Structure 1
Amino acid sequence: MNEIVKKLRFGGEGPVLSWLPEGFQSAVFLLPPFIQMPSNWDINMYNHLPTRTGRWDRINEDMLQYGQRLSWKQVMKDSEIHSEKELLLALLSSGGMLHPTMRRLDLLEKMQANLKDNCYPPDEDIISISLLPDVINLLRSKGTKRLYHVDPISEEDGFLDAETVTPKQIWNLTRGELFIMDEEMNFVVGSMFDSFTPMLYTKEANIEPCIRVMNVEAVICDEHTTIDWFR
């Protein structure tokens, strides 16, 4: 496995910034937008297609074309949830990702009660389809000609042309953890198991311009931020 990916995937003890690979200076947790689909759209309309990949290709195309991005800030306001930490706890409480003593079913209920029909939260484990256009835009803005991708579980890797790659191509690479970066490996986006918030790591000291290019919400790591920042 690529050594940078190995280091980022397994992390270390203490604050995130203390265990970044050599040369990396900053990191953020990316908050992928929710997707609000039109009321007349039905996620089951493609069930007749013979393969799972074919079904999800059409679903993802629809989400990118017809979906309205819904920010965490808006979901928090609608649900009377008071912080990104609380909203993440609500998402994590929707499955078996937390120890029972940590689950916040009250927050989950508030979130679910206030999401409109056909509103889809970010994906867990993978980089959400709603975030992939922003990842591509960032890496293109840095002048890279090729995107390097690594599946840390299968250890399969390869390159994609930065100018022609589509979100669907990247989403279809794996149904689990994935790391995407420029070919110089100065900017890395990676998803994590049992997580809704992929991370962006860079060798730049100031990561805020990257967040602005991506036009996404994020939690910037300071010297105290740990991988379980929501606790």
Structure 2
Amino acid sequence: MNFDVQEVLSLLETMHFEEGVPILRQLPKPFTSAAFLFHPFVRMPDGWEEQKRKRPFEHIYPSDEEIITMGRPVSWNTVMTICGLRSEKETALALMTAVMALRDEYAQPESAELLNRLYPADLYLPSDDVTSPFLIPGLLDVFRSKGIERCIYYEPVEEKGIFSLNQTAPLDVCGLLQADMIIADEKRRAAFLSMYDSFTTLFLMEDQDMPSVVRAMNWEAVICSDTTCINWFSQ
């Protein structure tokens, strides 16, 4: 590995965000802007689950390949309307409560109960631990638009390596992803971090024009202000 790669790996190994401290104040240089990208809900074709299920009450969730090839993203805004959830914060708390990711004093069981209005349609909760397959193509496009050719991936326990953007399909990147994995370009112009039990991906950029990028990619997101912390949903 060359010097740039070792330097980026060193940066990724030490990247950590404390609760209660604004994200922007914790960003390592040269990153200056950040946004929490919402993982879309997943709509599969009518009857998909019935065809896949082998037993009456078997829990089925589409694979990354099925999501990319057959699935359709459903926005948080649409789900909020269907379920009667009042805000993105309430939706995040409902999702995290549903997967038991919150301590009892922070859980919102009444909000989580509203998610049951999504069933029995072929509509699935977003991926909670890793970046949504729906977001990966757009993230790679943003990387390419910055002239990025190679990306470094790092997972705290055992995974790290390099891949070429020109030789890697979105599904290949999905296959790499693990909870708490960070992917960054070798020049540190952009990076994204999947976070355990969060239903969001933290996206970082060197420049500050995050709102324009989010709009251009049609992402739903919380763009970090000077006061936004890692637990934005409870602020």
TM-score tier (shorter): 0.7 to 0.9
Answering whether residue 189 of structure 2 is matched by residue 157 of structure 1, we say no
Which residue, out of 116, 121, 137, partners 1:117?
A: 121
Equivalence map 1:27-42=2 (5 Å): 27-42=34-49
Deviation at 1:174, TM superposition (A): 4.1
| Alpha-carbon shift at residue 68 of structure 1 (Å) | 1.4
Give the 3 Å change call, closer, same or farther, for CA 212–165 of structure 1 in structure 2: farther
Partner of 2:13: 6
Other-structure match for 1:138: 142
1:208 aligns with 2:211: yes
Aligned with 2:229 (options 222, 226, 230) = 226
Partners of 2:43 and 2:83 in 1: how far apart? 15
- Secondary structure at the aligned position of 1:42 is classed as helix
Aligned counterparts of 2:116 and 2:185: Cα–Cα separation in 1: 37
State the SS of the aligned residue for 1:93.
helix
Q: Matches of 2:9 and 2:50 in 1, distance apart?
A: 37
User: What is the rounded CA distance, in whole Å, between the counterparts of 1:94 and 1:144 in structure 2?
Assistant: 38
Aligned-pair Cα RMSD in Å: 2.4
**Partner of residue 50, structure 1:** none
* 2:58 corresponding residue in structure 1: none
Q: How does 1:91-102 map to 2 (within 5 A)?
A: 91-102=95-106
Relative distance call for 1:212 and 1:8 in structure 2 (3 A) is farther
8 A contact 2:146–2:189 mirrored in 1: no
For the 8 Å contact 2:17–2:230, the answer to whether it is kept is no
| Post-superposition offset of 1:113 | 1.6
What amino acid does structure 1 have at the position aligned with 2:168?
A: V
Deviations 1:37-83 (A, max 9, x none): 01221388398xxxxxxxx9x83222112211101111111111111
Distance in 2 (CA, whole Å) between partners of 1:149 and 1:44 is 36
Aligned partner of 1:195 in structure 2 is: 198
Deviation, 1:183, is: 2.1
- Alignment of 1:20 with 2:27, yes or no, is yes
User: Could you tell me whether the CA contact under 8 Å between 2:155 and 2:178 is conserved in 1?
Assistant: no
User: Identity of aligned pairs, percent?
Assistant: 30
Gapped regions of structure 2 (runs ≥ 5): 1-7, 55-60
Q: What is the aligned residue count?
A: 222
TM-score (norm: length of structure 2): 0.85
Q: Deviations over 1:92-119 (max 9, x none)?
A: 0012210112111111111222355221
